[in-house]
Chain A
Amino acid sequence: MTRPTATPASSFSALRQRPWVRWAVPLLLVVVLAVLPLVLTEAANDTLARIGVFAVAVLGLNVVMGYTGQISLGQIFFLGLGAYVTAYGVTNDWNIVLVFVLTCLIPAVAGLLVALAAARLGGLAIAMVTIALPIVGVPLAKRLSEFTGGSQGVSARFTDAPEGSGLYDDQWQLYLVLVIGGIVFVLTRFLVRGKYGRAFAIVKGNENVASSMGISPYRYKVLAFTIASLIGGVSGFLYMVVVQYTSPETMSFGHSIELLVAMVIGGAGSIAGSLLGGAFYVVVPNLTNAVDPSLTALLQGALLLVVLFVLPGGLVSLPRAVMRGLRRSPAGRGHAAPPTTPSPTTGSGPAAEEPDTERLGRA
């Protein structure tokens, strides 16, 4: 691929490809995230921690829907299951590491069992099966009251800052969310950018092509669903870290749809989009409450429509939309005839710059 050196945009991207920049950006991010909890207010820390919880839940949904293209409406069930497992373990004084491992394993196994059956059906049938999860989950949680505390729910405070750390509870909780959530995000990034991610993308694009390439659509659908359930379980653990209480309402069907909305608004098939989706899930109810508490549902619906009309690719496409606008406007006024120059950058447009995995993931 020939690289033109004249345009400022390409020299900018060349700078960004220098090795030290590659390392500096994530490093800077880690430093900022490490310092942030110490300088922010309690309210800001609480909000950030909540964003982390739901960003992880949306990330799980993205693995199965955004990257693999299978409709799942049951993600909230795995969050709820993870939260209940955590609450049960904590109230019975189990080792917290064991609790965390179980919080990953039990939802993953549940997800695996569901997927083994559902992925065979394919298409909309998966959506139907996954709808059933929260619908069954709520009455089940009410009935199994010796484990779940029934409809009164169960609370578990286990994330007070340890003695001697000098941290406030909200800072400690945010650190837990940042570390656990951060690890999940990094691992998921490697997953979807690597061999498995490419297989997911092909399954999403065309199952017949996948089969002809020796990729079993069934196996990869089950894998994606299981990973999504596992990540959902982790988000349930984080939910207990931050909210410290769960009840059957946690996994009500409406929240599953809200997670789906958050994923689409953030940007389907995108790691950064999951983060934005989590932010949307948490921040928007607070915003609409600040505007008028009696009109929250109406305002949220209006906002959803506006975002989808203006940014069909989700919030994550905002920088690209802005860049495209910026690149176009000086080109039209400043240079006399860029459209006639057959430059590879201007000619092929921004889509050509998209990395392959990203494009496949969104196809």
Chain B
Amino acid sequence: MSTHSRSQRALGIAVALALAVTVSACGGRDAGRSGDAAEGAPSPGITDTTVTLGITTPLSGPTAGPGTCTVAGVTAYFGAKNAAGGVGFGDGKTRTVEIQALDDTYDPQQAAANYDQLKGEVFAMTAGLGTPTNRAWREAAIADEVPQVLIMTGDPLFSDTQQSPWQLGFVPIYQNEGAAFGELLASSGAAHRVAILSQNDDFGAGYVEGFKSAIEGAGNIEVVGELTYEATDTSVDAQITDLANSGADVFFNAMSVTPLVIAALQKAQQLGWTPSWFLPSNTSSPTAILEPGGAAAFPGIYSVSFAKAPQSPAFAQDPDVVEYLAALKQYGNYPDPPAFPHCHWSWMIGATLEQAFQNMKEPTRDSFMEALRAIKDFQAPLMLPDTAVTTSESGQPAVSTVVVQKYNGRGYDTVEAFE
């Protein structure tokens, strides 16, 4: 009775298989599985003239802005190097660096699929944005012995050499940022009452952990109020009102949601509460957050940074910034000055990778990891004074030093002491 549907089904399955096989045939040329390469033989993705790097990052969806930047910066960096002849490697050869980027829409499943597609063709995975999207294939990368390095997540797991032998984070972990501000506050000598508001997840907890460890034992700092909110909350008015009543003169606000930060700044002004603020580096943009929030009303807005802000007038003539913006336009397919710091972080990743390439003795992933983990006090382009790339410390990402900065009405200035 159901002959028609049976033939349909068989046909349908045939079509599905044909589709799948075609796609994967485009993706994976070698039928060999990982792990069957001979000792010392070149790893996949590297020849005598080229090396290919893979990136999986959100290029569409809500996080597409920063995600696009993570590709643009490193593409621009190596685009300029390739145009100048290529990068000199430690084994004496000069190679051009190709980038293969895929969109994961911030979906962990798609990120893992992208990794599966890229792992046979690329030498190393790098620069991808996002904690869940990087965690999704972390264990697979360890099993396959594929480097997953200089990625953009503040999750400390990726910088733990024991648990993550093939990984290394690039940007400071959340604890680094909180601790930098805590140290500045503790060293001010004056008595301060601190109110803390943090996002109820690993992000917020990381900042608070870093801050508290830095003020531990400092007699002049007292935490007078501590509240949390959910990342999905649409308002933190209740928490701000509550904390305003604590009479704190310093407000440590570990918040990652842009509209909430603006609303919090406005709410505090309505209540007539004007403490000094601390904000995380990714929610402290002068144009996108502080100006709409009316931050000039507060005695000081502090944040942390390790990079020169290319859009800041103070660095407009800086040779690093000029070179970076020109290359981004010419090679990074990014014509306008970027609004996200991820673009110049990605540029610095390019410079850090070049350091590792210059020191790797063999064209293998092992040799690359060894060289990458041996970088000490490397002043990457666009880095601020007193910050550096150091990869040899376990438990720390490539950049773990940050300087505290204070909002000056237009941009940020590095400060030595809390005023």
A residues adjacent to B (C-beta < 8 A)? 13, 16-17, 22, 25, 29, 36, 40-44, 46-48, 50-51, 138-139, 142-143, 145, 150-153, 155, 157, 168-170, 193, 239, 243-250, 252, 254-255, 270-273, 275-276, 278-279, 282-283, 285-290, 293-294, 296-297, 315-316, 318-320, 353-358
Contacting pair A150 B202 (CB below 8 A): yes
B60 within 8 A of A: yes
Q: Per a CB cutoff under 8 Å, which of B15, B33, B108 touches A250?
A: B108
B3-11, B182-190, B396-404: which lies at the interface = B3-11
The 3 A-B pairs at the shortest CB distance, nearest first, are namely A43-B28, A272-B12, A44-B24
B86-94, B113-121, B261-269, B339-347: which lies at the interface = B113-121
A272 vs B202: C-alpha distance when bound (angstroms): 43
Contacting pair A25 B202 (CB below 8 A): no
Contacts of B135 in A (CB 8 A): 152-153, 155, 245, 247
Contacting pair B112 A287 (CB below 8 A): no
> 15 pairs across A/B with beta carbons < 8 Å?
A41-B24, A44-B25, A47-B24, A139-B230, A139-B232, A152-B202, A153-B135, A170-B33, A243-B108, A247-B135, A249-B106, A286-B23, A288-B103, A315-B12, A358-B5
Nearest Cβ distance between residue B65 and chain A, in whole angstroms? 12
Nearest residue in B to A43 (C-beta to C-beta)? B28
Chain B 132-150 interface mask (CB, 8 Å, partner A; 1/0): 1101111110010000000
A252 vs B231: C-alpha distance when bound (angstroms): 14
Contacts of B140 in A (CB 8 A): 244
A267 vs B2: C-alpha distance when bound (angstroms): 17
B residues adjacent to A (C-beta < 8 A)? 1-13, 15-17, 19-21, 23-28, 30-31, 33-34, 59-61, 68, 101-103, 105-110, 112-114, 116-117, 120, 131-133, 135-140, 143, 155, 157, 200-203, 230-232
A43 vs B20: C-alpha distance when bound (angstroms): 10
Contacting pair A25 B112 (CB below 8 A): no
A29 vs B60: C-alpha distance when bound (angstroms): 38
A288 vs B60: C-alpha distance when bound (angstroms): 12
Contacts of A283 in B (CB 8 A): 19-20, 23
Q: Per a CB cutoff under 8 Å, which of B5, B20, B112 touches A44?
A: B20
Contacts of A244 in B (CB 8 A): 112, 139-140
A285 vs B102: C-alpha distance when bound (angstroms): 10
Contacts of A245 in B (CB 8 A): 108, 112, 132, 135-139
A51 vs B3: C-alpha distance when bound (angstroms): 25
Contacting pair A152 B8 (CB below 8 A): no
If A25-B10, A43-B116, A285-B105 are given as contacts, then 16 extra A-B residue pairs at C-beta distance below 8 Å, sorted by A number, are A16-B3, A40-B24, A41-B31, A42-B116, A50-B113, A138-B232, A145-B201, A151-B202, A155-B138, A245-B136, A272-B9, A275-B12, A286-B27, A286-B117, A289-B103, A293-B103
Nearest Cβ distance between residue B234 and chain A, in whole angstroms? 12
* Given A40-B24, A275-B12, A319 contacting B30 (CB threshold 8 A): no
Contacting pair B1 A355 (CB below 8 A): yes
Contacting pair B23 A47 (CB below 8 A): yes
Contacting pair B61 A297 (CB below 8 A): yes
* Given A13-B3, A51-B16, A320 contacting B23 (CB threshold 8 A): no
Contacts of B61 in A (CB 8 A): 254, 297
* Given A47-B23, A294-B103, A320 contacting B8 (CB threshold 8 A): yes
A245 vs B130: C-alpha distance when bound (angstroms): 14
Nearest Cβ distance between residue A158 and chain B, in whole angstroms? 11
Pick from A44, A157, A275 the residue with the most CB of B within 10 Å.
Answer: A44
* Given A47-B23, A143-B230, A247 contacting B9 (CB threshold 8 A): no
Nearest residue in B to A170 (C-beta to C-beta)? B33
* Given A13-B3, A47-B24, A272-B13, A41 contacting B30 (CB threshold 8 A): yes
Contacting pair A239 B109 (CB below 8 A): yes
Contacts of A152 in B (CB 8 A): 131-132, 135, 155, 157, 201-202
Contacts of A43 in B (CB 8 A): 24, 27-28, 116-117, 120
Nearest Cβ distance between residue B63 and chain A, in whole angstroms? 11
Contacts of B26 in A (CB 8 A): 290
